[in-house]
Amino acid sequence: MKIGLTKLNSVLYKNKSSIADKQSVDTPLINLDVSDQAIQNYKEADPYPHVFIENFVNDTNMLDQIIEEYKNYGCWGYDPKSTNYQVKKFFSPWCDANINDIPPTTKRLMNYFNSRPVLDKLEKLTGISGLIADPHFVGGGMHRIDRGGRLSVHSDFNKHPNNPWYRRINLLLYLNKNWQDSWGGNLQLWNKDITAAVKSSSPLYNRAVIFNTTPTAYHGHPHELNCPNGVSRNSIAIYYFSMDRPDHEKDNTTSATWKNIPQ
For the segment 114-142, what is each residue's pLDDT rounded down to a tens digit? 999 999 999 999 999 999 999 999 999 99
The pLDDT score that the predictor gives to residue 20 is 46
Average pLDDT over the chain reads: 91
In a domain, 18, yes or no: no
The pLDDT score that the predictor gives to residue 13 is 35
Residue type, 257: T
CA–CA distances in Å: residue 199 to residues 33, 62, 230, 238: 20, 29, 28, 21
Does 206 score more than 90 pLDDT?
yes
The model's pTM is 0.90
Query: Distance between CA atoms of 147 and 228, rounded to whole angstroms?
Result: 7
CA–CA distances in Å: residue 235 to residues 38, 63, 205: 24, 11, 9
The pLDDT score that the predictor gives to residue 263 is 82
In a domain, 104, yes or no: yes
Q: Which of 236, 170, 172, 208 is nearest to 52 (CA)?
A: 208
Within the chain, strands assigned E span 50-53, 86-92, 132-133, 141-155, 166-174, 187-190, 197-201, 208-212, 219-221, 232-242, 257-258
Provide the percentage of residues in the chain whose pLDDT is more than 90.
Answer: 88
Query: Distance between CA atoms of 185 and 204, rounded to whole angstroms?
Result: 10
In a domain, 174, yes or no: yes
In a domain, 22, yes or no: no
Binned at pLDDT 50, 70 and 90, residue 96 comes out as confident
In a domain, 16, yes or no: no
Query: Distance between CA atoms of 122 and 38, rounded to whole angstroms?
Result: 12
Higher-confidence residue of 110 and 4: namely 110
Provide the percentage of residues in the chain whose pLDDT is more than 70.
Answer: 90
Query: Distance between CA atoms of 199 and 185, rounded to whole angstroms?
Result: 13
Residue 97 domain boundaries: 30-258
Q: What is the pLDDT of residues 138-196, one digit of tens each?
A: 999 999 999 999 999 999 999 999 999 999 999 999 999 999 999 999 999 999 999 99
In a domain, 15, yes or no: no
Query: Distance between CA atoms of 146 and 89, rounded to whole angstroms?
Result: 7
The pLDDT score that the predictor gives to residue 27 is 64
Does 4 score more than 60 pLDDT?
no
Q: What is the pLDDT of residues 46-69, one digit of tens each?
A: 999 999 999 999 999 999 999 999
Does 15 score more than 80 pLDDT?
no
CATH at 125: 2.60.120.620
The pLDDT score that the predictor gives to residue 180 is 97
In a domain, 93, yes or no: yes
Mean pLDDT on 20-31: 63
Looking at the structure of the chain, the number of domains it has is: 1
Does 24 score more than 60 pLDDT?
no
Residue type, 110: M
In a domain, 23, yes or no: no
Higher-confidence residue of 63 and 7: namely 63
